[in-house]
Amino acid sequence: MTTATRTIIMTGATRGIGLEAAREILRRSPDTHLVVLGRGSSAAEVLPSLRGISPHVSTVDIDLSSMASVAAAGAQLEDLLDSGEVPPLRGLVFNAGVHLSNALESTVDGYERTFAVNVMSTHRLLRQLHPHLQAPARIVVTVSDAHFGDLRHTGGTMPAPRWAIPEISRPGAFERSGNVRAGRRAYVTSKLGGIYLVHEWARRLPDDIDIVSYNPSLVVGTGLARETGGAFPFLMRRIIPLLTVTPLVDTPVPAGKKLTDAVLGVTPAETGAYIHREKAAASSVESYDTDRERALWNWLEQVTVPEQRIDPSADG
């Protein structure tokens, strides 16, 4: 049996792209101990199949819509790392995300659920765990080319993002927030926020600890469309799968392999890069805005980690 010498922690590993990537990571990197973060029931369901590939798998319960739950999971992970129960931390994968049918759903903390899960939980968990990363290490945040919000990248199915911090973190921030289109706007805006977060973290992390965003592009069979409402679930079930015979659309298995390439460093990319499927590329023009990136960081510091006000590095 191969001894585990490093740990990778992953959210969104219980279905779709994330589950396939988890399997692929364990196959390709047998010296990796994989920690799956997820709701207790969903994580328990996939644990036997993952342990069928490698014994080096464990789970930690987390509710990404609750900052208290995220903090508690982070503390449990810190204990595991500090005690040596798991090997040194060499990777973090933030693959979980939600796409809702409106922009009205509130978390227990009072934030809009899409933004809380897709952006706030990432910063909170990364803020807690980054001191435990040992170089060389890579952090991957799954985003979406839907953040472009244009015809070329979304086929007209998604509106353009509308950025405003802190307004977009609140339920009802978008026009007609109870509508499906507002839910889509909340989603694409949160994915733009994920790229901003990657850019700002890239400036602050030490050398040899890289952070990149990964865009799987259009993938069928992930389950992401289950809460989107409107015609989108029908399109993802019946129409888009017909395009999997083209290079335009992936299924979870090849998309999971591409995510694994990003996680394991097979895909070459500098820190802060945007990986489109198999290679580094440019994200939207709007996604390169240092003022927005710094403002997002400062706001997240105030609301998600008030007990930790010291930057992970110099002012950057």
What pLDDT digit, counting tens, does each position of 73-83 carry?
999 999 999 99
What is the rounded (10 degree) CA torsion for 297, 134, 83, 125? 20
Q: What is the pLDDT of residues 131-163, one digit of tens each?
A: 999 999 999 999 999 999 998 887 788 999 999
User: How many angstroms separate the Cα of 169 from the Cα of each of 82, 102, 294?
Assistant: 33, 13, 16
Q: What is the pLDDT of residues 291-304, one digit of tens each?
A: 999 999 999 999 99
User: How many angstroms separate the Cα of 295 from the Cα of each of 166, 191, 229, 289?
Assistant: 9, 16, 32, 10
User: pLDDT-derived band of residue 246, with 50, 70 and 90 as boundaries?
Assistant: very low
3-state SS, one letter per residue, for 114-170: HHHHHHHHHHHHHHHHHHHEEEEEEEEEECCHHHHCCHHHHCCCCCCCCCCCCHHHC
165: phi then psi, degrees, rounded to nearest 5? -110, 130
- Name which of 131-140, 145-154, 216-225, 271-280 the model is least confident about: 216-225
Q: How far apart are CA 125 and CA 177, in angstroms?
A: 28
Mean predicted lDDT score pLDDT of the chain: 90
Q: What is the pLDDT of residues 2-60, one digit of tens each?
A: 899 999 999 999 999 999 999 999 999 999 999 999 998 889 999 999 999 999 999 99
- Percentage of the chain surpassing pLDDT 90? 80
**DSSP assignment of 65-102, as one string?**
T-HHHHHHHHHHHHHHHHHTSS--EEEEEE------S-
Q: How far apart are CA 222 and CA 219, in angstroms?
A: 7
Give kind and range of the element (H or E) at residue 18. Answer: helix 16-28
**Entry pTM:** 0.89
Please say if the pLDDT value at position 310 is more than 50: no
Say if CB 73 and CB 82 are below 8 A apart: no
Say if CB 252 and CB 17 are below 8 A apart: yes
Q: How far apart are CA 71 and CA 61, in angstroms?
A: 11
Say if CB 31 and CB 6 are below 8 A apart: yes
User: pLDDT-derived band of residue 306, with 50, 70 and 90 as boundaries?
Assistant: confident
User: How many angstroms separate the Cα of 149 from the Cα of each of 133, 152, 174, 213?
Assistant: 34, 9, 15, 17
Question: Of 213, 194, 200, which is closest to residue 312 (Cα–Cα)?
Answer: 200
Across the beta sheet with 57-61, the strand order is: 57-61, 32-38, 6-11, 89-94, 133-142, 209-215, 274-276, 279-281
Residues in the chain: 316
Q: How far apart are CA 45 and CA 102, in angstroms?
A: 29
- Percentage of the chain surpassing pLDDT 70? 88
Question: Of 187, 180, 135, which is closest to residue 162 (Cα–Cα)?
Answer: 187
Say if CB 316 and CB 219 are below 8 A apart: no
**Which residue type occupies 243?**
L
